[in-house]
Amino acid sequence: MGVDPSRRALLRGRLEYTPSLRPPWTRNEPDLMANCSQCGDCIQACETNIIVPDKAGFPRVDFQLGECTFCQACVEVCAEPVFHDPERTAPWRHVAEIGPACLGPQGVYCRSCGESCEEGAIHFSFNAQRVPEPAVDTEACSGCGACVSVCPTQAVTVGLPSTQHSTRLREGT
């Protein structure tokens, strides 16, 4: 049976446990907690330097530092059973989500996130009466995080698709 990460964090003396975005191809949180030696090799190997230690010393991805290129260096360098086989498994299911701090709905013109997206996954609504507002095509989004740090209001997050996110896409806004 897997280890409850929150319980393990508490046992290690941490009173609070906050789930972090883990490196791509990470199997799951319990496997990471049980098998990661906290050697830091994945942190050193990451070509965009987006992997940092979390408060407990486990690797997490910080998209404020850059984007994931899916180079697989983190996976290849890891000696422990932490990662899926990249040849057989998608890196993750994460996608970008644009939150209420986005400038568009507030009437301020900004297309920074869209301009940063090489996948063309961010589309802007066009309405003569309104400033363009972004929406993420979750089918096209790779979860690379390139759109996160460029947002002037930190409105973009990357994580598992939410119900709200899906609803907004279905509505085509």
For residue 39, state whether it binds ligand SF4 (rule: CB under 6 A).
Answer: yes
CA distance 62 to 42: 13
List phi, psi (to 5°) of 9: -60, -40
Does the annotation place 117 within a ligand binding site?
no
Q: What is the length of the chain?
A: 173
Pattern 71-90, ligand SF4, x by CB under 6 A: xxxx--xx-x-x--------
Which one of the spans 12-20, 114-122, 125-133, 162-170 is the region binding ligand SF4 (CB under 6 A)? 114-122
Determine the number of helices (DSSP H) and then strands (DSSP E) in the chain.
6, 6
Smallest separation (angstroms) from ligand SF4 to the CB of 11: 18
End-to-end CA distance of the chain: 43
For residue 56, state whether it binds ligand SF4 (rule: CB under 6 A).
Answer: no
CA distance 147 to 156: 7
Contact set with ligand SF4 (CB under 6 A): 23-24, 36-42, 45-48, 50-51, 59, 61, 68-74, 77-78, 80, 82, 96, 116-117, 119, 121-122, 136, 141-147, 158
